[in-house]
Chains A and B, each alone.
Chain A
Amino acid sequence: MRQVLEGSHAISEAARLARVQVVSGYPITPQTHIIEALSQHCADGTLAARFIPVESEHSAMSAVIGAAATGVRAFTATSSHGLALMHEMLHWAAAARLPIVMGEVNRALGPGWNIWMDQSDSLAQRDTGWIQLYCEDAQDALDTTLIGFRLAEAVNLPVMVIIDAFYISHTYEPVDVPEQAAVDRFLPPPNPRFRLDPADPKSLYPMVGPPAFMEMRRSLQDAMEVAEAALAQAAAAFKTEFGRSCPPIEADGCEDAEIVLVTTGSITSTARLVVEDLRARGERVGLCKLKLFRPFPAEGIRRVLGRAPRVAVIDRNVSFGVGGIFAQEIRSALCSLERRPPVFSYIVGLGGRDVPPETIAEIYRSTREAAAPDPESRWVGLNPELMGAAAR
């Protein structure tokens, strides 16, 4: 049924339809609406789940780890400082091989306090063993959350479903909300491979010394290596049931493009308009939307970008001392090719600074006109007056 939903509620609706059994959460802007909606569902009886209102995000992740270890479907959501506080337990959830799904609203980290859109929070967690899926809009968020549960339970890894602060989390859009019966067909009750059971006592996650630790970590890596195929299977089943696609990489007009723009999150929607406009003026520009970041779809990146004369990666994040994080990963994926496309790296929109069509058009122009990529990421739209103030 088509409904007008806030992006946050696209995620909470998906969690409700997935019949999550335990939800834990701690308030943080701009995530709060997700757990508010789920606690309302628990209070109203429209979701048969236990809501645990904890005293920190570290505890939120710990609570769902405890719940998932009993074999139930568990969900939480957070953002920014909350995700950073969870860091220890993100490692724990992944190495414990628990299929937890978490909504994560991208937001900058302080200081200075900033509640707005920025991918630094989720990308700082890239080595924790979580699958990371980035969403473009509310429909994408709902679909990705449902697929996320199926994927998590297929490979026994936790899944982070990531949306933009405000641009998605607080924006209302028409969303096709599936029927419960169809979701039940797509997502049967969890069938855990192991769980805490007094009738079959096991010690879960005890100390592991050097003779076995590497094998355990290799098994996590193996799970990551099959996760992309598992995502494709889940997405195919989703398409059969609901008719919508959810590819790890979406390529639009990349085959014969002179320049391919690479985007994530809501910037993709803005870039679609810019690309349409440029094509109308005879420019050969492609668009590559990246949904899957962990595991990194290197093969798909080589297939989509490998023959492009130029690639421009738009990063709403920065790894200090290196540059845009998606650009680094894409360069790394392309470096095994004999003919490597030059990768232009742009940093935009940190801390919620708007990225209007003009910014993306400027990135396109600058990529077309430059002789070669700068040695470092180019920061777009810096205010020289403020830069002077910062230098003082």
Chain B
Amino acid sequence: MSQALNTDRGLTYPGNVGCPGCGANIAVNHALRALGEKTILVIPACCYAIVSGPYPQTALKVPILHSAFACSAVTASGVRAGLDMQGDTETTVVAWAGDGGTFDIGLQSLSGAAERGDDIIFVCYDNEAYMNTGVQRSSSTPYGSRTTTTPGQGWKKTRKKNIMEIMAAHRVAYAATANIAYPDDFMRKFARAREARGATRFIHVFASCPTGWGVASGHAIKIARLATRTSVFPLYEIENGTDYTLNAGGDLPVGDYLTVQGRFKHLAPEDLALVQAEVDRDMALIQEKVAATQVRRAFFKSA
């Protein structure tokens, strides 16, 4: 890991307008290390559209095409088509969107690109609300969270949309979850996505947001690690929408993750129990799919 984090390979410039402890910033750093300089980012409206630098600055050493909120996937498809028509099949085209630009307003465009199998990597760096506009709820905001549009006793009573299952249902060639607290796993997945050319790849990145979550900025990585160690955000990969591999989960109680964040501090023990039950059920489903994958692979190997 110390080798991978050698600063002279970085494709980001030091210093930008990100909040202290911004998970998206850490994610971009890791991602570009794995993707390399022959990469073009398409960024819709999101925190990183601002963090990447206002005119005439840029935080990155790769080209950026800023696009409108709803359309980062298809804009990336257009970039891909334009490069292909000029004989450049080497450059990796990446849509880099927040959870709003993925789960909500960007979902139609993402679904279209995935159904067409467009040769792009779509990355959702998920900070679980509209942070750039001041922490409003999105369909990625988890059960129990307070945001500025789910305030007080109106805290969010519905669960987070499962974007990985949505992408698996599109049978995308490669889908993976990645966490900024697990840089080796993170960069391996981005490198793998880069190599899986010719098809749609999707990476769901857990990107903590100390500002929006009510967490000390120095705890951005700690919170992210707890998300995986409590299995709130397990690390796994899905090939072709059907073949599941589990990379990391954990057996800590969800309370270890929830109670240290301001956005969940109002939750009662029975609420925590509800979340625990949901997380256990989700994890069991993933494990069933992993087991089914192994059975299927063994069957086809013997057949």
Contacts and interface: CB of A to CB of B under 8 A. Distances in A.
Interface of A: 21-22, 24, 48-50, 52-56, 58-59, 62-72, 74, 88-89, 92, 196-198, 200-209, 212
Contact of A92 (B68, B74, B108): B68
B67 A66 contact: yes
A66 B75 contact: yes
B54 interface: yes
A48 B84 CA distance: 11
B85 interface: yes
A59 B74 CA distance: 6
B262 interface: no
A353 B199 CA distance: 48
A205 B63 contact: no
Interface residues of B, number: 46
Contact of B66 (A88, A89, A205, A212): A205
A110 to B, nearest CB: 21
Interface string B57-78: 1101111111110110011111
A96 to B, nearest CB: 9
B299 interface: no
B253 interface: no
Contacts of A89: 68, 71
9 contacts: A22-B78, A52-B74, A55-B115, A59-B108, A66-B67, A68-B78, A72-B81, A201-B63, A206-B52
Given A48-B85, A67-B85, 16 more contacts: A52-B78, A52-B81, A52-B116, A54-B77, A55-B108, A55-B109, A62-B78, A66-B75, A67-B81, A201-B58, A206-B53, A206-B58, A207-B50, A207-B54, A209-B55, A212-B55
Contacts of B37: 198, 201
A198 to B, nearest CB: 5
Given A22-B78, A67-B78, A198-B38, A62 B67 contact: yes
A67 B39 CA distance: 15
Contacts, number: 156
Contact of B74 (A21, A63, A69, A74): A63
A373 to B, nearest CB: 42
B3 interface: no
B79 A69 contact: yes
A335 to B, nearest CB: 37
Main SS class of interface, B: mixed
B111 A58 contact: no
A65 B82 CA distance: 10
Interface in B101-157: 108-109, 111-112, 115-116, 118
Contacts of B55: 203, 206-209, 212
B54 A58 contact: no
Contact of A69 (B52, B65, B109): B65
Contacts of A69: 65, 78-79, 82
B112 A203 contact: no
Nearest to A201: B63
B70 A196 contact: no
Contact of A56 (B78, B84, B108): B108
Nearest to B67: A62
A22 B63 CA distance: 20
B26 to A, nearest CB: 20
Nearest to B90: A198
Interface in B27-58: 37-40, 42, 49-50, 52-58
- Closest 4 A-B residue pairs measured CB to CB? A66-B78, A70-B82, A55-B112, A62-B71
Given A53-B116, A198-B40, A62 B82 contact: no
From B42, B52, B54, B85, residue with most partner A Cβ within 10 Å: B85
Contacts of B111: 55
Nearest to B38: A198
A207 B64 CA distance: 12
Given A55-B112, A62-B67, A198-B40, A207 B49 contact: yes
Contacts of A88: 68, 70
Contact of A196 (B58, B63, B109): B63
A68 B79 CA distance: 8
B245 interface: no
Contact of A50 (B56, B66, B81): B81
Nearest to A196: B63
A74 B40 CA distance: 19
A182 to B, nearest CB: 23
B85 A196 contact: no
Contact of A72 (B38, B70, B86, B118): B86
A143 B62 CA distance: 40
A23 B206 CA distance: 35
A46 to B, nearest CB: 16
B217 interface: no
B66 A206 contact: yes
B61 A24 contact: no
